[in-house]
Chains A and B, each alone.
Chain A
Amino acid sequence: AAGVIQSPRHLIKEKRETATLKCYPIPRHDTVYWYQQGPGQDPQFLISFYEKMQSDKGSIPDRFSAQQFSDYHSELNMSSLELGDSALYFCASSAGTDVSYEQYFGPGTRLTVT
């Protein structure tokens, strides 16, 4: 079965640079969520999109922005990177926003800021 695809899998950037993370949801899934997981920490919700509209916003820094495109893929844009942005970034998708639609997670993008 098709899963959530994230690219790149690993990314190394320097402070103050920008990064773009991409997420391709499971086919026919219209909802995308972004989470940030620091070392030894639980995933923290950043932002979500339903049918290409932002549906919820969590602890996402103003330096970050995201959008969902017409083909339902999503991109997380991160600017003025800081050392503290180093983390695993997960994208999850679901078939809708109802609770019966579980979120399925991608393999993550490991971002390292030096």
Chain B
Amino acid sequence: EDQVTQSPEALRLQEGESSSLNCSYTVSGLRGLFWYRQDPGKGPEFLFTLYSAGEEKEKERLKATLTKKESFLHITAPKPEDSATYLCAVQAIGGTYKYIFGTGTRLKVLA
């Protein structure tokens, strides 16, 4: 069964304290891995798509990387406005286009 696990569940950082969020996945075949940011009561906001192992993408203080089993979202020198839940999702090969989400990492950045 296709599965996505994110860790840690929650993370508190001081402003400027860099860290990484993990997304481990088990799928029969990976079509794509997606990172989203979700603020409370709002819809997920698209951040990155990764397709193959070794791929990296960056956007401001965020950098996403992908291996054959997991993805990391690196946050460099975070600011309080980076506080949110970060969701990882995968799309598996096999004729289905749905996203399978992990339970997310709740990030709190303290000023």
Listed in ascending order, the chain A residues whose CB lies under 8 Å from chain B are 4, 31, 33, 35, 41-45, 48, 50, 55-56, 58, 88, 90, 92, 97, 99-100, 102-108, 110
Contact = CB atoms under 8 A, between A and B. Distances in A.
Given A42-B87, A99-B51, A100-B49, A108 B98 contact: no
Contacts of B104: 42
Contacts, number: 60
10 contacts: A42-B104, A48-B97, A88-B41, A90-B43, A99-B32, A99-B49, A99-B51, A99-B91, A102-B34, A105-B43
Contacts of A88: 41
Contacts of A55: 97
Contact of A107 (B42, B98, B99): B42
B44 A90 contact: yes
B101 interface: yes
B63 interface: no
Contacts of A41: 103
A13 B81 CA distance: 35
Contact of B101 (A43, A97, A104, A107): A43
Interface in B60-111: 87, 91, 96-104
Residue among A31, A33, A88, A103 with max Cβ neighbours from chain B (10 Å): A103
A92 to B, nearest CB: 8
A105 B34 CA distance: 13
Nearest to A50: B97
A45 B49 contact: no
Given A43-B44, A90-B44, A105-B45, A58 B98 contact: yes
A106 B32 contact: no
A45 B103 CA distance: 13
Given A99-B51, A102-B34, A42 B101 contact: yes
